[in-house]
Amino acid sequence: MRAKALVTVSLLVSLLSGCSSLHSGAGYGTKCPKDLDSQLKAIQAKQVFADLAQDLCGSRDSYGTVLVTDFVDLESLAPNASGILMGEWMRSSLSSVCGYDIQQAEFGRYFTLGANGLAVLTRRGEAIRKDEVKNADIVVGTFSQSADKLVLFAKKFNLNGNVITKMSSKEIVFSCTDWGTDYSVR
């Protein structure tokens, strides 16, 4: 009887002390990633961009060459270091997931992204078609970021038809506790 009481008391003490002890996991005290750089570090970005690329993969009749812009912030309409990094992830994913050839071009010479969207800077459309983006689809990436959410958008269109042929988005929602940061991709 005494042994049973000792075991019961030992279990009770262990349970109570476990509830009052500090969690010593690697994420304890982690702050929620509020800036874009921290959010990108907190996610499995390679997989997110591979999923985004998979959504943009075309049929066999689409061109096998794509031109991919750097991602720009929808608020400032400018790429920053993170936008350039996201553009590289997108290029890599489109190449490895879809098998596209990625064409490098002086894209900024012909296009600008402004408050009214993507604008052509030349009236000579044939120059664009003949020059650097001949027979290429174009993928334009944008993002919107807040303290608890990062939303990525990618549009694929063909310059010859001026039609969006594919579009995809990924919404990454962050939730934070004292034990670390979790996120979900929708």
Q: Is residue 24 over pLDDT 70?
A: no
pLDDT in tens, 170-180: 999 998 877 77
Taking residues 102-108, report their average pLDDT.
64
Specify the DSSP element, H or E, that contains 34.
none
Confidence bin at 137 (pLDDT 50/70/90): confident
Does the residue 21 lie in any domain? no
**Containing domain of residue 113, as a range?**
29-185
Three-state SS for 38-86 is HHHHHCCHHHHHHHHHHHHCCCCCCCCEEEECCCEECCCCCCCHHHHHH
pLDDT of residue 32: 75
Q: How far is CA 56 from the centre of its chain?
A: 14
Does the residue 66 lie in any domain? yes
| Domain count within the chain | 1
Among 23-32, 94-103, 108-117, whose mean pLDDT is lowest?
23-32
Interstrand relation of 149-158 and 65-68 (parallel, antiparallel or unpaired): unpaired
Does the residue 82 lie in any domain? yes
Does the residue 15 lie in any domain? no
Output 60 or 168, whichever has higher pLDDT: 168
Does the residue 42 lie in any domain? yes
Does the residue 139 lie in any domain? yes
Eight-class DSSP state of 107: G
Which one-letter amino acid corresponds to residue 41? K
Hey, CA dihedral for 121, 156, 33, 147, is it positive or negative? Answer: positive
pLDDT of residue 25: 29
Residue owning tokens 């190449």: 95
CATH at 76: 3.40.50.10610
What is the pLDDT of the chain when averaged over all its residues? Answer: 74
Does the residue 10 lie in any domain? no
